[in-house]
Structure 1
Protein backbone atom coordinates (compact mmCIF):
# COMPACT_ATOMS: atom_id res chain seq x y z
CA UNK A 1 0.00 0.00 0.00
CA UNK A 2 1.34 3.41 -0.94
CA UNK A 3 1.67 5.83 2.02
CA UNK A 4 0.80 8.77 -0.26
CA UNK A 5 -2.60 7.36 -1.24
CA UNK A 6 -5.29 9.99 -0.60
CA UNK A 7 -9.06 9.82 -0.22
CA UNK A 8 -9.53 11.29 -3.70
CA UNK A 9 -7.40 8.45 -5.12
CA UNK A 10 -9.64 5.85 -3.46
CA UNK A 11 -12.77 7.56 -4.76
CA UNK A 12 -11.38 7.77 -8.30
CA UNK A 13 -10.10 4.17 -8.32
CA UNK A 14 -13.48 2.81 -7.23
CA UNK A 15 -15.21 5.02 -9.80
CA UNK A 16 -12.91 3.79 -12.59
CA UNK A 17 -13.26 0.10 -11.70
CA UNK A 18 -16.92 -0.14 -10.67
CA UNK A 19 -18.62 3.06 -11.75
CA UNK A 20 -19.76 3.60 -8.15
CA UNK A 21 -19.38 6.99 -6.45
CA UNK A 22 -17.94 6.39 -2.97
CA UNK A 23 -18.92 8.97 -0.32
CA UNK A 24 -15.94 10.89 1.04
CA UNK A 25 -16.46 9.66 4.62
CA UNK A 26 -16.62 6.01 3.53
CA UNK A 27 -13.41 6.46 1.50
CA UNK A 28 -11.72 8.02 4.53
CA UNK A 29 -12.67 5.14 6.86
CA UNK A 30 -11.72 2.53 4.26
CA UNK A 31 -8.31 4.12 3.78
CA UNK A 32 -7.80 4.30 7.54
CA UNK A 33 -8.68 0.61 7.95
CA UNK A 34 -6.27 -0.33 5.16
CA UNK A 35 -3.45 1.68 6.76
CA UNK A 36 -4.16 0.06 10.13
CA UNK A 37 -3.90 -3.40 8.55
CA UNK A 38 -0.70 -2.69 6.62
CA UNK A 39 1.16 -0.37 9.01
CA UNK A 40 -0.59 -0.92 12.35
CA UNK A 41 -2.60 1.51 14.46
CA UNK A 42 -1.16 4.55 16.20
CA UNK A 43 -1.81 2.96 19.60
CA UNK A 44 -0.06 -0.33 18.80
CA UNK A 45 2.74 1.57 17.06
CA UNK A 46 3.62 3.58 20.16
CA UNK A 47 3.49 0.44 22.31
CA UNK A 48 5.92 -1.38 20.00
CA UNK A 49 8.33 1.51 19.61
CA UNK A 50 10.59 0.93 22.67
CA UNK A 51 11.19 -2.72 21.69
CA UNK A 52 11.61 -1.72 18.06
CA UNK A 53 14.25 0.91 18.88
CA UNK A 54 15.96 -1.58 21.17
CA UNK A 55 16.27 -4.02 18.28
CA UNK A 56 17.72 -1.31 16.05
CA UNK A 57 20.24 -0.43 18.73
CA UNK A 58 21.22 -4.09 19.17
CA UNK A 59 21.63 -5.04 15.51
CA UNK A 60 22.85 -1.71 14.09
CA UNK A 61 26.14 -0.98 15.94
CA UNK A 62 26.65 2.65 16.88
CA UNK A 63 22.93 3.47 17.11
CA UNK A 64 22.06 5.69 20.08
CA UNK A 65 18.51 5.56 21.45
CA UNK A 66 17.01 7.90 24.04
CA UNK A 67 13.36 7.18 24.73
CA UNK A 68 11.25 10.23 25.56
CA UNK A 69 7.51 10.76 25.28
CA UNK A 70 7.71 13.50 22.75
CA UNK A 71 6.04 13.93 17.93
CA UNK A 72 7.73 16.58 15.78
CA UNK A 73 10.37 15.02 13.53
CA UNK A 74 13.79 16.71 13.48
CA UNK A 75 16.68 15.40 11.42
CA UNK A 76 20.19 16.15 10.22
CA UNK A 77 21.99 14.88 7.14
CA UNK A 78 25.49 15.11 5.70
CA UNK A 79 27.25 14.30 2.44
CA UNK A 80 29.81 11.50 2.35
CA UNK A 81 32.98 11.21 0.27
CA UNK A 82 31.00 9.85 -2.69
CA UNK A 83 28.73 12.93 -2.72
CA UNK A 84 25.81 10.86 -1.43
CA UNK A 85 23.34 12.00 1.22
CA UNK A 86 23.96 10.40 4.60
CA UNK A 87 21.31 10.71 7.35
CA UNK A 88 23.04 11.44 10.67
CA UNK A 89 20.29 11.61 13.25
CA UNK A 90 16.56 12.04 13.68
CA UNK A 91 14.25 12.58 16.62
CA UNK A 92 10.49 12.39 17.07
CA UNK A 93 9.40 15.08 19.53
CA UNK A 94 6.23 17.00 20.33
CA UNK A 95 7.58 20.41 19.32
CA UNK A 96 10.58 22.15 17.74
CA UNK A 97 13.08 21.64 20.58
CA UNK A 98 16.24 22.89 18.93
CA UNK A 99 18.43 23.12 22.08
CA UNK A 100 17.58 19.55 23.06
CA UNK A 101 18.18 18.22 19.53
CA UNK A 102 21.54 20.00 19.18
CA UNK A 103 22.58 18.67 22.60
CA UNK A 104 21.83 15.12 21.47
CA UNK A 105 23.63 15.73 18.17
CA UNK A 106 26.66 16.99 20.08
CA UNK A 107 26.61 14.11 22.54
CA UNK A 108 26.04 11.20 20.16
CA UNK A 109 27.27 12.31 16.71
CA UNK A 110 29.81 15.13 16.97
CA UNK A 111 31.39 13.87 20.20
CA UNK A 112 34.05 16.57 20.52
CA UNK A 113 35.06 16.71 16.87
CA UNK A 114 36.13 20.09 15.57
CA UNK A 115 35.60 21.66 12.18
CA UNK A 116 31.85 21.03 11.99
CA UNK A 117 29.77 23.20 9.65
CA UNK A 118 26.01 23.40 10.23
CA UNK A 119 23.89 24.74 7.36
CA UNK A 120 20.30 25.64 8.19
CA UNK A 121 17.55 28.16 7.59
CA UNK A 122 17.38 31.33 9.69
CA UNK A 123 14.80 30.17 12.23
CA UNK A 124 15.21 32.36 15.31
CA UNK A 125 14.98 29.47 17.77
CA UNK A 126 17.64 27.49 15.92
CA UNK A 127 20.01 30.47 15.67
CA UNK A 128 19.67 31.06 19.41
CA UNK A 129 20.27 27.38 20.19
CA UNK A 130 23.40 27.33 18.00
CA UNK A 131 24.82 30.39 19.75
CA UNK A 132 24.32 28.76 23.14
CA UNK A 133 25.96 25.47 22.12
CA UNK A 134 29.70 24.80 21.77
CA UNK A 135 29.91 22.90 18.49
CA UNK A 136 29.05 25.44 15.80
CA UNK A 137 30.77 28.56 17.11
CA UNK A 138 34.43 29.48 16.70
CA UNK A 139 36.88 27.86 17.21
CA UNK A 140 35.00 24.53 17.26
CA UNK A 141 32.87 24.96 14.15
CA UNK A 142 30.66 27.35 12.20
CA UNK A 143 27.01 27.98 11.43
CA UNK A 144 26.02 28.93 7.89
CA UNK A 145 22.67 29.88 6.34
CA UNK A 146 20.99 28.05 3.48
CA UNK A 147 21.30 30.37 0.48
CA UNK A 148 17.95 29.23 -0.91
CA UNK A 149 16.21 30.31 2.32
CA UNK A 150 18.09 33.62 2.36
CA UNK A 151 16.92 34.34 -1.19
CA UNK A 152 13.36 33.29 -0.36
CA UNK A 153 13.23 35.53 2.72
CA UNK A 154 14.80 38.34 0.70
CA UNK A 155 12.13 38.03 -1.99
CA UNK A 156 9.35 37.96 0.61
CA UNK A 157 10.49 41.41 1.72
CA UNK A 158 11.67 42.98 -1.55
CA UNK A 159 9.21 41.20 -3.89
CA UNK A 160 11.37 41.41 -6.99
CA UNK A 161 12.38 38.21 -8.80
CA UNK A 162 15.16 39.97 -10.71
CA UNK A 163 16.77 41.07 -7.45
CA UNK A 164 16.15 37.59 -6.04
CA UNK A 165 18.23 36.13 -8.89
CA UNK A 166 20.97 38.68 -8.18
CA UNK A 167 20.84 37.69 -4.51
CA UNK A 168 21.49 34.07 -5.50
CA UNK A 169 24.31 35.11 -7.80
CA UNK A 170 25.90 37.16 -5.03
CA UNK A 171 25.64 34.35 -2.48
CA UNK A 172 26.95 31.65 -4.80
CA UNK A 173 29.86 33.67 -6.23
CA UNK A 174 33.26 32.53 -4.92
CA UNK A 175 35.31 35.48 -6.16
CA UNK A 176 35.14 38.54 -3.91
CA UNK A 177 35.55 40.92 -6.84
CA UNK A 178 32.54 39.47 -8.64
CA UNK A 179 30.52 39.40 -5.40
CA UNK A 180 31.14 43.12 -4.89
CA UNK A 181 30.15 43.84 -8.48
CA UNK A 182 26.82 42.01 -8.06
CA UNK A 183 26.13 43.79 -4.77
CA UNK A 184 26.81 47.13 -6.47
CA UNK A 185 24.25 46.20 -9.11
CA UNK A 186 21.69 45.36 -6.41
CA UNK A 187 22.40 48.70 -4.72
CA UNK A 188 21.97 50.52 -8.02
CA UNK A 189 18.55 48.92 -8.56
CA UNK A 190 17.22 49.11 -5.00
CA UNK A 191 18.99 50.65 -2.00
CA UNK A 192 16.64 48.91 0.45
CA UNK A 193 17.40 45.53 -1.11
CA UNK A 194 21.12 46.19 -0.75
CA UNK A 195 20.66 47.26 2.88
CA UNK A 196 18.70 44.08 3.62
CA UNK A 197 21.52 41.83 2.39
CA UNK A 198 24.30 44.02 3.75
CA UNK A 199 22.82 43.65 7.24
CA UNK A 200 23.32 39.85 7.16
CA UNK A 201 26.74 38.60 8.23
CA UNK A 202 28.41 37.82 4.90
CA UNK A 203 30.24 34.80 6.34
CA UNK A 204 26.84 33.25 6.99
CA UNK A 205 25.38 33.35 3.48
CA UNK A 206 28.04 34.05 0.84
CA UNK A 207 30.52 31.62 -0.69
CA UNK A 208 33.04 34.44 -1.18
CA UNK A 209 33.30 35.09 2.58
CA UNK A 210 32.80 31.51 3.79
CA UNK A 211 36.45 30.51 4.15
CA UNK A 212 35.90 27.05 2.68
CA UNK A 213 33.73 25.67 5.48
CA UNK A 214 30.79 24.80 3.25
CA UNK A 215 32.80 22.60 0.89
CA UNK A 216 30.65 23.88 -1.97
CA UNK A 217 27.31 23.10 -0.28
CA UNK A 218 25.16 26.23 -0.39
CA UNK A 219 21.72 24.93 0.60
CA UNK A 220 19.89 22.48 2.85
CA UNK A 221 18.73 20.50 -0.18
CA UNK A 222 20.14 17.27 1.28
CA UNK A 223 17.82 17.61 4.27
CA UNK A 224 14.94 18.37 1.91
CA UNK A 225 15.87 15.14 0.13
CA UNK A 226 15.42 13.22 3.39
CA UNK A 227 12.14 15.04 4.00
CA UNK A 228 11.02 14.02 0.52
CA UNK A 229 11.72 10.36 1.28
CA UNK A 230 9.71 10.63 4.51
CA UNK A 231 6.88 12.69 3.01
CA UNK A 232 4.49 9.79 2.70
CA UNK A 233 5.52 8.23 5.99
CA UNK A 234 4.66 11.32 8.04
CA UNK A 235 1.01 10.27 8.03
CA UNK A 236 1.81 6.74 9.22
CA UNK A 237 2.17 5.39 12.77
CA UNK A 238 5.49 6.28 14.35
CA UNK A 239 7.02 2.79 14.11
CA UNK A 240 6.43 2.81 10.33
CA UNK A 241 8.16 6.21 10.16
CA UNK A 242 11.19 4.85 12.03
CA UNK A 243 11.28 1.73 9.83
CA UNK A 244 11.27 3.76 6.61
Structure 2
Protein backbone atom coordinates (compact mmCIF):
# COMPACT_ATOMS: atom_id res chain seq x y z
CA UNK A 1 0.00 0.00 0.00
CA UNK A 2 1.53 3.37 -0.97
CA UNK A 3 2.59 5.60 1.88
CA UNK A 4 1.14 8.69 0.19
CA UNK A 5 -2.19 9.91 1.55
CA UNK A 6 -4.72 11.35 -0.90
CA UNK A 7 -5.47 14.23 1.47
CA UNK A 8 -2.01 15.66 0.73
CA UNK A 9 -3.10 16.51 -2.82
CA UNK A 10 -5.22 19.43 -1.59
CA UNK A 11 -2.60 20.98 0.68
CA UNK A 12 -1.16 23.41 -1.89
CA UNK A 13 -3.89 25.88 -2.79
CA UNK A 14 -2.40 29.28 -3.61
CA UNK A 15 0.74 31.40 -4.02
CA UNK A 16 1.85 32.85 -0.71
CA UNK A 17 0.06 30.14 1.23
CA UNK A 18 0.79 29.98 4.97
CA UNK A 19 0.82 26.80 7.04
CA UNK A 20 -0.66 27.01 10.54
CA UNK A 21 1.44 24.30 12.18
CA UNK A 22 4.49 22.08 11.74
CA UNK A 23 2.34 18.99 11.18
CA UNK A 24 0.69 20.43 8.08
CA UNK A 25 4.06 21.63 6.84
CA UNK A 26 5.45 18.08 7.11
CA UNK A 27 2.52 16.85 5.01
CA UNK A 28 3.45 19.38 2.32
CA UNK A 29 7.02 18.08 2.40
CA UNK A 30 5.72 14.57 1.75
CA UNK A 31 3.68 15.88 -1.18
CA UNK A 32 6.76 17.60 -2.60
CA UNK A 33 8.81 14.45 -2.35
CA UNK A 34 6.12 12.37 -4.06
CA UNK A 35 5.79 14.81 -6.99
CA UNK A 36 9.48 15.77 -7.21
CA UNK A 37 9.23 19.39 -6.14
CA UNK A 38 12.08 21.14 -4.39
CA UNK A 39 11.15 23.62 -1.66
CA UNK A 40 12.99 26.63 -0.25
CA UNK A 41 12.25 28.41 3.03
CA UNK A 42 11.36 32.08 2.66
CA UNK A 43 10.26 32.92 6.20
CA UNK A 44 9.94 30.97 9.41
CA UNK A 45 8.84 33.26 12.24
CA UNK A 46 8.19 30.39 14.60
CA UNK A 47 9.18 26.72 14.39
CA UNK A 48 5.58 25.75 15.14
CA UNK A 49 4.21 28.10 12.44
CA UNK A 50 5.86 27.50 9.07
CA UNK A 51 4.84 30.68 7.28
CA UNK A 52 6.13 30.82 3.70
CA UNK A 53 7.84 28.26 1.48
CA UNK A 54 8.74 28.47 -2.20
CA UNK A 55 8.26 25.32 -4.30
CA UNK A 56 10.31 24.89 -7.47
CA UNK A 57 9.10 22.40 -10.06
CA UNK A 58 11.61 20.00 -11.56
CA UNK A 59 11.40 16.60 -13.17
CA UNK A 60 14.76 15.29 -11.93
CA UNK A 61 15.19 17.14 -8.66
CA UNK A 62 17.12 15.19 -6.04
CA UNK A 63 14.96 15.18 -2.91
CA UNK A 64 17.04 12.64 -1.03
CA UNK A 65 18.53 15.32 1.20
CA UNK A 66 15.03 16.23 2.44
CA UNK A 67 14.31 12.73 3.74
CA UNK A 68 15.32 13.25 7.37
CA UNK A 69 14.63 10.65 10.03
CA UNK A 70 11.70 12.77 11.27
CA UNK A 71 10.19 12.88 7.80
CA UNK A 72 10.70 9.13 7.42
CA UNK A 73 8.82 8.71 10.71
CA UNK A 74 5.94 10.75 9.31
CA UNK A 75 5.93 8.71 6.10
CA UNK A 76 5.66 5.34 7.81
CA UNK A 77 3.62 6.28 10.88
CA UNK A 78 0.24 5.21 9.52
CA UNK A 79 1.56 1.85 8.32
CA UNK A 80 3.34 1.23 11.64
CA UNK A 81 0.01 1.73 13.38
CA UNK A 82 -1.49 -1.11 11.32
CA UNK A 83 1.68 -3.22 11.10
CA UNK A 84 3.70 -3.00 14.35
CA UNK A 85 6.30 -5.46 12.97
CA UNK A 86 7.06 -3.19 10.01
CA UNK A 87 10.83 -3.65 9.60
CA UNK A 88 13.35 -0.94 8.58
CA UNK A 89 14.34 -2.94 5.50
CA UNK A 90 10.69 -3.06 4.42
CA UNK A 91 10.43 0.68 5.07
CA UNK A 92 13.44 1.31 2.82
CA UNK A 93 11.86 -0.68 -0.02
CA UNK A 94 8.47 1.06 0.32
CA UNK A 95 9.97 4.55 0.45
CA UNK A 96 12.15 3.80 -2.58
CA UNK A 97 9.12 2.47 -4.47
CA UNK A 98 6.70 5.28 -3.57
CA UNK A 99 9.09 8.26 -3.58
CA UNK A 100 12.19 7.15 -5.48
CA UNK A 101 14.23 7.89 -2.37
CA UNK A 102 16.98 5.62 -1.12
CA UNK A 103 17.81 5.93 2.55
CA UNK A 104 20.39 4.00 4.62
CA UNK A 105 19.27 1.39 7.12
CA UNK A 106 20.28 3.47 10.15
CA UNK A 107 18.21 6.44 9.01
CA UNK A 108 15.16 4.18 8.49
CA UNK A 109 15.68 2.53 11.89
CA UNK A 110 15.86 5.92 13.62
CA UNK A 111 12.77 7.08 11.77
CA UNK A 112 10.91 4.01 13.01
CA UNK A 113 12.04 4.68 16.59
CA UNK A 114 10.75 8.27 16.37
CA UNK A 115 7.39 7.07 15.02
CA UNK A 116 7.05 4.46 17.78
CA UNK A 117 7.87 7.07 20.42
CA UNK A 118 5.21 9.39 19.01
CA UNK A 119 2.69 6.52 19.15
CA UNK A 120 3.53 5.04 22.54
CA UNK A 121 5.68 7.61 24.34
CA UNK A 122 9.13 6.91 25.74
CA UNK A 123 10.08 3.93 27.89
CA UNK A 124 10.64 6.37 30.76
CA UNK A 125 7.05 7.57 30.41
CA UNK A 126 5.82 3.97 30.48
CA UNK A 127 7.68 3.23 33.70
CA UNK A 128 6.31 6.44 35.25
CA UNK A 129 2.78 5.27 34.44
CA UNK A 130 3.35 1.84 35.94
CA UNK A 131 1.85 2.60 39.41
CA UNK A 132 -1.35 3.87 37.80
CA UNK A 133 -1.46 0.77 35.58
CA UNK A 134 -1.12 -1.55 38.60
CA UNK A 135 -3.92 0.27 40.45
CA UNK A 136 -6.18 -0.05 37.42
CA UNK A 137 -5.26 -3.72 37.05
CA UNK A 138 -6.30 -4.44 40.66
CA UNK A 139 -9.59 -2.58 40.19
CA UNK A 140 -10.48 -4.53 37.05
CA UNK A 141 -9.06 -7.87 38.27
CA UNK A 142 -9.81 -8.02 42.01
CA UNK A 143 -7.90 -10.78 43.77
CA UNK A 144 -4.85 -10.45 41.55
CA UNK A 145 -1.44 -10.12 43.17
CA UNK A 146 0.89 -7.27 42.18
CA UNK A 147 3.95 -5.74 43.79
CA UNK A 148 6.43 -3.02 42.82
CA UNK A 149 9.58 -1.64 44.39
CA UNK A 150 11.81 1.35 43.63
CA UNK A 151 15.48 1.91 44.33
CA UNK A 152 16.74 4.45 46.85
CA UNK A 153 17.11 7.03 44.04
CA UNK A 154 13.38 6.59 43.26
CA UNK A 155 14.06 4.72 40.03
CA UNK A 156 12.34 1.50 39.05
CA UNK A 157 13.71 -1.72 40.51
CA UNK A 158 11.19 -4.51 40.04
CA UNK A 159 7.52 -5.38 39.49
CA UNK A 160 5.50 -8.58 39.89
CA UNK A 161 2.12 -9.41 38.30
CA UNK A 162 -0.09 -12.47 38.69
CA UNK A 163 -3.71 -12.23 37.55
CA UNK A 164 -6.50 -13.88 39.52
CA UNK A 165 -7.66 -15.74 36.39
CA UNK A 166 -4.25 -17.40 36.10
CA UNK A 167 -4.28 -18.38 39.77
CA UNK A 168 -7.77 -19.83 39.49
CA UNK A 169 -6.89 -21.81 36.40
CA UNK A 170 -3.75 -23.19 37.98
CA UNK A 171 -5.53 -24.31 41.14
CA UNK A 172 -8.57 -25.82 39.44
CA UNK A 173 -7.43 -27.22 36.13
CA UNK A 174 -3.66 -27.41 35.81
CA UNK A 175 -1.10 -29.92 36.87
CA UNK A 176 1.02 -28.94 39.90
CA UNK A 177 4.02 -28.13 37.71
CA UNK A 178 5.66 -24.73 37.38
CA UNK A 179 8.41 -23.89 34.90
CA UNK A 180 10.67 -21.01 35.97
CA UNK A 181 12.87 -19.07 33.58
CA UNK A 182 14.19 -15.63 32.80
CA UNK A 183 15.44 -13.69 29.79
CA UNK A 184 17.21 -10.40 29.30
CA UNK A 185 15.16 -7.57 27.78
CA UNK A 186 16.58 -5.91 24.67
CA UNK A 187 14.80 -2.58 25.20
CA UNK A 188 16.81 0.57 25.87
CA UNK A 189 16.14 0.38 29.63
CA UNK A 190 17.28 -3.26 29.71
CA UNK A 191 16.27 -5.40 32.71
CA UNK A 192 15.24 -9.05 32.98
CA UNK A 193 11.88 -10.75 32.48
CA UNK A 194 11.17 -13.60 34.93
CA UNK A 195 8.25 -15.90 34.25
CA UNK A 196 6.36 -18.76 35.89
CA UNK A 197 4.57 -21.02 33.40
CA UNK A 198 2.27 -23.96 34.06
CA UNK A 199 0.78 -26.66 31.81
CA UNK A 200 -2.97 -26.89 31.27
CA UNK A 201 -5.10 -30.01 30.67
CA UNK A 202 -4.33 -29.91 26.94
CA UNK A 203 -0.56 -29.75 27.47
CA UNK A 204 -0.43 -26.08 26.44
CA UNK A 205 1.62 -23.41 28.16
CA UNK A 206 -0.36 -21.50 30.79
CA UNK A 207 1.16 -18.16 31.95
CA UNK A 208 0.97 -17.96 35.73
CA UNK A 209 3.02 -14.90 36.74
CA UNK A 210 5.75 -12.64 35.44
CA UNK A 211 8.12 -10.06 36.79
CA UNK A 212 10.43 -7.40 35.38
CA UNK A 213 13.53 -6.84 37.51
CA UNK A 214 16.66 -4.73 37.13
CA UNK A 215 18.98 -7.75 37.25
CA UNK A 216 18.85 -11.53 37.31
CA UNK A 217 20.40 -12.08 40.72
CA UNK A 218 19.66 -14.06 43.87
CA UNK A 219 17.73 -11.26 45.62
CA UNK A 220 15.38 -10.63 42.67
CA UNK A 221 14.78 -14.35 42.14
CA UNK A 222 13.94 -14.85 45.81
CA UNK A 223 11.59 -11.81 45.67
CA UNK A 224 9.89 -13.25 42.59
CA UNK A 225 9.33 -16.63 44.27
CA UNK A 226 8.13 -14.97 47.46
CA UNK A 227 5.45 -13.08 45.54
CA UNK A 228 4.59 -16.16 43.51
CA UNK A 229 3.97 -18.04 46.75
CA UNK A 230 1.78 -15.21 48.05
CA UNK A 231 -0.15 -15.07 44.80
CA UNK A 232 -1.02 -18.71 44.28
CA UNK A 233 -1.19 -19.80 47.95
CA UNK A 234 -0.90 -23.51 47.21
CA UNK A 235 -1.20 -26.16 49.90
CA UNK A 236 -0.23 -29.13 47.70
CA UNK A 237 3.22 -30.26 46.53
CA UNK A 238 4.48 -28.44 43.42
CA UNK A 239 7.10 -29.61 40.95
CA UNK A 240 9.47 -26.85 39.82
CA UNK A 241 11.42 -27.15 36.59
CA UNK A 242 14.19 -24.67 35.76
CA UNK A 243 17.76 -24.42 34.53
CA UNK A 244 18.78 -23.78 38.18
CA UNK A 245 20.63 -20.58 37.32
CA UNK A 246 21.68 -18.62 40.41
CA UNK A 247 20.04 -21.18 42.70
CA UNK A 248 16.58 -20.79 41.21
CA UNK A 249 15.57 -24.40 41.84
CA UNK A 250 16.84 -24.40 45.42
CA UNK A 251 14.98 -21.18 46.17
CA UNK A 252 11.75 -22.71 44.84
CA UNK A 253 12.00 -25.86 46.93
CA UNK A 254 12.74 -23.85 50.08
CA UNK A 255 9.97 -21.33 49.48
CA UNK A 256 7.18 -23.81 48.74
The TM-score normalised by the length of structure 1 is 0.49
Structure showing greater Rg: 2
Higher relative contact order (CA 8 A, sep 6+): 1
User: If each structure's strand is expressed as a fraction of its own residues, which one has the higher value?
Assistant: 2
